[in-house]
């Protein structure tokens, strides 16, 4: 049985996802989404429906939530001007606050904390850089004193590290 959480729509709106309420389920977003179809489990129209009905678990635990590339195709096509990406971002933030983060997103976030950028530098890229006469590891935000101080301040203000490591 699907549980309706009455405060959920307000919580979602407070996180920037209020426009889910405007969705009239035409399905255009799912049809046009380059990440949906046979490629992934993402069905943005389903996520909008669960969101506007207050089905918190269904919306937040939707695996497809993490398959959105934030390309904004759905937003461009939506006849109701639903800000689908804002809704998905809000749901992801709420999922993370509840201790749920898709594994690959977690890896990206961990790399940002550890290396100062989101993509891990592997041996293949290091060798390629070396062959081009470049240093194996490019400079990142961590290599500049002021930039690192700003970076640390942002991590602290957003509780980013705690959220990723919880
Ligand atoms: S295109 Fe807009 S109105 Fe249509 S289902 Fe998607 S979000 Fe809802
Ligand atoms: S922003 Fe996300 S949901 Fe919208 S079309 Fe792109 S991948 Fe699909």
Q: Establish if 120 belongs to a structural domain.
A: yes
Q: Measure the CA–CA gap between 45 and 47, rounded to whole angstroms.
A: 5
33 lines ligand 2 (CB under 6 A): yes
Verify that 93 and 139 share a domain, yes or no: no
Q: Which of 48, 79, 97 is the last residue of a domain?
A: 97
Verify that 58 and 82 share a domain, yes or no: yes
Nearest CA to ligand 2 atom 7: 68
Verify that 108 and 90 share a domain, yes or no: no
20 lines ligand 1 (CB under 6 A): no
138 lines ligand 1 (CB under 6 A): no
Cβ-based neighbours of 35, under 8 Å, separated by 6 or more? 42, 67, 68, 69, 71
- Report pLDDT digits (tens) over 126-153: 999 999 999 999 999 999 999 999 999 9
- Provide the whole-model pTM: 0.88
Verify that 41 and 64 share a domain, yes or no: yes
Identify the CATH number of the domain in which residue 46 sits: 1.10.1060.10
Give the rounded percent of residues in the chain with a pLDDT score beyond 90: 89
Range of the domain at 89: 8-97
- Report pLDDT digits (tens) over 53-70: 999 999 999 999 999 999
Verify that 78 and 141 share a domain, yes or no: no
Verify that 89 and 107 share a domain, yes or no: no
Q: Specify whether the CB–CB gap between 142 and 111 falls below 8 A.
A: no
Q: Which of 59, 80, 97 is the last residue of a domain?
A: 97
Q: Establish if 2 belongs to a structural domain.
A: no
Verify that 27 and 83 share a domain, yes or no: yes
Verify that 48 and 72 share a domain, yes or no: yes
DSSP string, 112-133: HHHHSSSS---HHHHHHHHHTT
- Per the structure, the count of domains in the chain is 2
Give the rounded percent of residues in the chain with a pLDDT score beyond 70: 99
Q: Which ligand is nearest to the CA of 40?
A: 2
Q: Tell me how many degrees the CA angle 136-142-146 measures, rounded to the nearest 5.
A: 135
Q: Establish if 55 belongs to a structural domain.
A: yes
């Amino acid at each position: 049985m699907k549980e309706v959480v009455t405060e959920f729509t307000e919580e979602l709106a407070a996180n920037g996802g209020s426009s889910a309420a405007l969705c009239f389920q035409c399905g255009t977003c799912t049809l046009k989404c380059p990440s949906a179809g046979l490629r992934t489990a993402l069905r943005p129209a389903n996520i909008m429906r669960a969101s506007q009905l207050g089905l918190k678990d269904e919306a937040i635990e939707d695996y497809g939530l993490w398959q959105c590339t934030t390309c904004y195709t759905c937003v461009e096509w939506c006849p109701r001007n639903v800000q689908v990406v804002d809704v998905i971002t809000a749901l992801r933030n709420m999922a993370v606050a509840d201790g749920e983060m898709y594994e690959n997103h977690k890896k990206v976030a961990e790399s940002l904390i550890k290396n100062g950028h989101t993509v891990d530098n592997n041996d293949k890229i290091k060798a390629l850089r070396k062959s081009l006469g470049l240093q194996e590891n490019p400079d990142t935000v961590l290599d500049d004193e002021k930039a690192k101080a700003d970076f640390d301040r942002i991590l602290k203000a957003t509780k980013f590290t705690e959220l990723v490591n919880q």
